[in-house]
Amino acid sequence: MDPEIDADLDLPTTGEGDDDEPSGSLDADDDADAIDDSDDGGDSPLDDAEASDVDAGEDEIDDIDDDDGDESDVDVGPLDDEVDIGEENELDDDGLGDAANDDDGIDLEERAAADDGGIEGTNELPEDAVDESALPELDADEDVDEGDEDLAEVLLADAQTELPAWDAARWTPLEGAGASTPCDALAIAAGRVAAAGEVLLIVGEGERAARPASFGAGVIAIAASDDLLVTATARGQIAVSQGAWTEATAVGALRAGSGPMELAATPGRGWIRRDGVLHSVTPPDASLVPVRERGVLAVTASGGAALLLTAGATGPVIERLRADDEAPRVVALRGAARRLAESAAKQGVITLVAAAGGRSVAFTDGAQIAISRDDGATFATAAFGPIVALAFVGDEADATLLILTESGTVVQLPVQGEPTRVAAIEGLGGAPAAIGWDPARECAWVACRAGLIAVGRAPRH
**pLDDT tens track for 415-461:** 999 999 999 999 887 789 999 999 999 999 999 999 999 999 877 65
Tell me the CA distances in angstroms from 306 to 37, 209, 361, one per residue in order: 127, 30, 12
Average pLDDT of span 243-254:
90
**Segments in 349-430 forming alpha helices (H):** none
CB neighbours of 91 closer than 8 A, spacing ≥ 6? 97
Distance of CA 347 to the CA centre of its chain: 18
Q: How far apart (Å, rounded) are the C-alpha atoms in residues 371 and 384?
A: 14
Collapsed DSSP state (helix, strand, coil) of residue 180? coil
For 292, other C-beta atoms within 10 Å of its C-beta total 18
The pLDDT assigned to 349 comes to 83
The pLDDT assigned to 160 comes to 52
Q: Does position 399 have pLDDT exceeding 50, yes or no?
A: yes
* Strand bridging mode 451-457 / 434-438: unpaired
Q: Which residue has better confidence, 302 or 429?
A: 302
Collapsed DSSP state (helix, strand, coil) of residue 318? strand
Give the type of residue at 446.
V
Contact criterion met (CB below 8 Å) for 404 and 388: yes
Q: How far apart (Å, rounded) are the C-alpha atoms in residues 438 and 393?
A: 8
Give the type of residue at 328.
P
Contact criterion met (CB below 8 Å) for 266 and 223: no
The pLDDT assigned to 131 comes to 52
Specify the CATH number of the domain 167-457. Answer: 2.130.10.10
Considering the chain, what is the average pLDDT of its residues?
75
Contact criterion met (CB below 8 Å) for 242 and 251: no
DSSP state letter for 22: B
Q: How far apart (Å, rounded) are the C-alpha atoms in residues 189 and 268?
A: 13
Q: Which of 189-198, 280-289, 405-414 has the lowest mean pLDDT?
A: 280-289
The pLDDT assigned to 213 comes to 94
